Chains A and B, each alone.
Chain A
């Protein structure tokens, strides 16, 4: 049971980072379908940086740097992809859906290329990411459940909570939401719409990039796998599942993680049945999508101008 929860939470944090990133982006009115690609690139950049670092220093690895360097690389890699996306959607004002899909194609290809230049095993580096607090084991199952994780779990929680705070309690958050709901009104109120959209997309993609890295370095213990993009689509699903609220996403991500890994922990599930279990997160998301659209509750709706480019001179 404990092992199940721990595993669900570890995977959940990948979803949480991805979906928090996408929420920030969507709050500014950008439906970024490039998130799967962005997460791939984040993961690949982080891993590549780790590989470079380990080759450079040999055996005298400084643990702090071994964690920080990949983190920054993943953040930057993701943010750069975000910059590319916003250049097309904000400056060139082209369709967000097609741009997003193209970014996903490009991102998946880039990540595979980057990894083919490095290695597919990062277990040595992964140890620094999964190292738990030293007193976790001493506190029994409670300790394992609360303190037994590597840095990513706490990082993801901190980012999700900070995002919620910034979105709901600060002026920047208010402006950002205004830009996503009605850019023309926001513009009239003197808010720099392009700036907010650029910034939100880059920050959001940076966070999603971290999510990609967490999948490889934490959940898979440093074994590269070519399925980061599948995780990325689930992260987008999670945004809807938690109706654009990063604090709800904390719980939602654990639910998603649990649904995804459940089949391995429930006795008696056949080899084939596992595949049906993996379907659950998607089915649940569809149900949430239907229920929210039927109930029409105003606070559970997507940002109003989600997916629309803004051009000041349009009427």
Chain B
């Protein structure tokens, strides 16, 4: 600052960053920036794969599309992938909108899955199917809620850092699953044989149809809840400014705890769908990082559940596409992670151009004249 006073013109930097007034940013500008970022990311990862796989880039993209849309089985897998990722994303969204950094969806989903699988294993034979389904649902949802409630209570009453708390809870859940598998799988292999006989019913002859439909309903429900309900409004206010919320008489503690309970409950549904409706078994990697990817999905869509359908599709497309590339061109399957990482960074980075403007300093211009 003091330098500027001394020799204002000489030391004014050439480029200068100004915050955009969010009211003046048009929707098509936002759309263009994001589209450019995604295209650039696809271009960069395409070039990278082309170099690594020494293949024709058009073939590379072709293989990607083929991996996702190539057959009706692949399309169903894609739909299932989108549905599952979207479900976890829906779960984290209310919390994030409230600026509660819940990075523990991974653990919340996993513990619900564990609760679900335990119910299937121990109670499967003791009751009729319909009752079993109800018990499975209740138990899974409760497990997810408990896992979310703990950090929420401590955040609300003692301001305990929720990012780190929820992160640690993930690994507690992972270890519980590891312990469960070793303690209760009778043959000692640590791998639980799937139990499709106790799973969710298959409708329309398609294994994943029920999951997809349920998640679609859930998406709309969360959208309406956040957009049109009083609770949704309170969440937005707490997220924008806790002080404002307190000033207008919102009980912040109550909102934090309630929102996390909802978040946990949706994680419970995700656990139910993953275990009861998809795998019919559990392992420590059942959730497979969805809890973390979901944060991206939700954040990229600006916490709007309808946009989240697109962002989760984008991520699943990349994941499945890169897997196809790695089989087609015989390169390490880790390429999927690399491509996802690159694309995420591009989309995260483009946020800068939505928030700020780079301007060439006026003083400097005059100086140049």
Decide whether A and B are members of one complex.
Answer: yes
On A, residues with C-beta under 8 Å from B are 31, 33, 84, 88, 92-95, 97-99, 101-113, 116-117, 188, 190, 230, 233, 236-237, 240, 270-276, 278-279, 282-283, 285-286, 289-290, 293-294, 302, 307, 311, 313-314
Docked-complex contact A314 and B19, CB < 8 angstroms? yes
User: B56 contacts the other chain (Cβ, under 8 Å)?
Assistant: no
In the bound complex, residues from chain B placing their C-beta under 8 Å from that of A113 are 52, 332, 334-335, 338
Are A106 and B342 in touch, CB under 8 angstroms? yes
Q: A97-B295, A276-B175 are in contact. Are A105 and B163 (CB under 8 A)?
A: no
Residues of B within 8 A of A111 (CB): 334
Give CA–CA (A6, B179) in the complex, Å.
26
The answer to whether residues A116 and B334 also contact, given A105-B341, A282-B172, A293-B161 and a CB cut-off of 8 A, is: yes
The answer to whether A99 touches B345, judged by C-beta atoms less than 8 angstroms apart, is yes
Asked whether, in the complex, the Cβ of A283 is within 8 Å of the Cβ of B172, the reply is yes
B336 sits at the interface (CB 8 A): yes
Would A293 and B337 count as touching, CB distance under 8 A?
A: no
List, in ascending order, chain A residues with CB within 8 A of B332's CB: 112-113, 116-117
Number of A-B contacts (CB under 8 A): 156
Q: Write out the residue numbers on chain B whose beta carbons fall within 8 Å of the beta carbon of A106.
A: 337-338, 340-342, 344-345
Q: Which residues of B contact A274 (CB under 8 A)?
A: 182
Judge whether B244 is part of the interface by a CB distance below 8 angstroms: no
Say yes or no for B348: interface residue by CB 8 A criterion: yes
B18 at the interface (CB under 8 A from A): yes
Residues of B within 8 A of A237 (CB): 164, 167-168
B72 to A: closest C-beta gap in Å: 29
Minimum CB–CB distance from B265 to chain A (whole Å) comes to 22
- Asked whether any CB of chain A lies closer than 8 Å to the CB of B356, the reply is yes
Q: Are A289 and B161 in contact (CB under 8 A)?
A: yes
B interface, CB within 8 angstroms of A: 1-2, 17-19, 52, 101, 103, 154, 158-161, 163-165, 167-169, 171-172, 175-176, 178-179, 182-183, 188, 289, 292-293, 295-296, 299, 332, 334-342, 344-345, 348-349, 351-352, 355-356
B338 touches A109 (CB 8 A): yes
CB pair B167 A233 closer than 8 Å: yes
Q: Chain A residues with Cβ under 8 A from B340's Cβ?
A: 105-106, 109
Which residues of the partner chain B approach A33 to less than 8 Å between Cβ atoms? 103, 163
Query: Given A98-B348, A109-B336, A116-B332: A236 and B172 within 8 A (CB)?
Result: no
Bound: A109/B337 CA distance, A: 5
Pick the contact of B345: A88, A283, A285 (CB < 8 A).
Answer: A88
B168 pairs with A112, CB closer than 8 A: no
Give A278 to B348 CA distance when docked, in angstroms. 34
Contact of B154 with A102 in the complex, beta carbons under 8 Å: no
B161 x A107 contact (CB < 8 A) = no
Complex interface: chain B residues within 8 A of A283 (CB): 168, 172
CA–CA, A233 and B295, complex, Å: 17
Determine if B348 and A99 form an interchain contact, defined as CB atoms under 8 angstroms apart: yes
Q: With A88-B348, A113-B335 given, is the CB distance from A279 to B160 under 8 Å? A: no
CB of B324, distance to nearest CB on chain A (Å): 16
Report chain A residues within 8 Å CB of B183.
Answer: 270, 272
A285 and B348 CA atoms in complex are apart in Å by 30
**Cα distance A233–B163 when bound, in Å?**
12
A-B residue pairs in contact (CB < 8 Å), sample of 12: A33-B163, A92-B351, A94-B348, A99-B345, A102-B341, A102-B344, A233-B171, A240-B161, A272-B182, A276-B179, A278-B175, A286-B169
4 closest A-B pairs by beta carbon, nearest first, are A106-B341, A109-B337, A112-B334, A272-B182
Contact at B351–A279, with CB atoms within 8 Å? no
Q: A237-B168, A283-B172 are in contact. Are A112 and B337 (CB under 8 A)?
A: yes
Given that A94-B352, A109-B336, A109-B337 are known contacts, is A282 also in contact with B168, CB under 8 Å in the complex?
Answer: yes
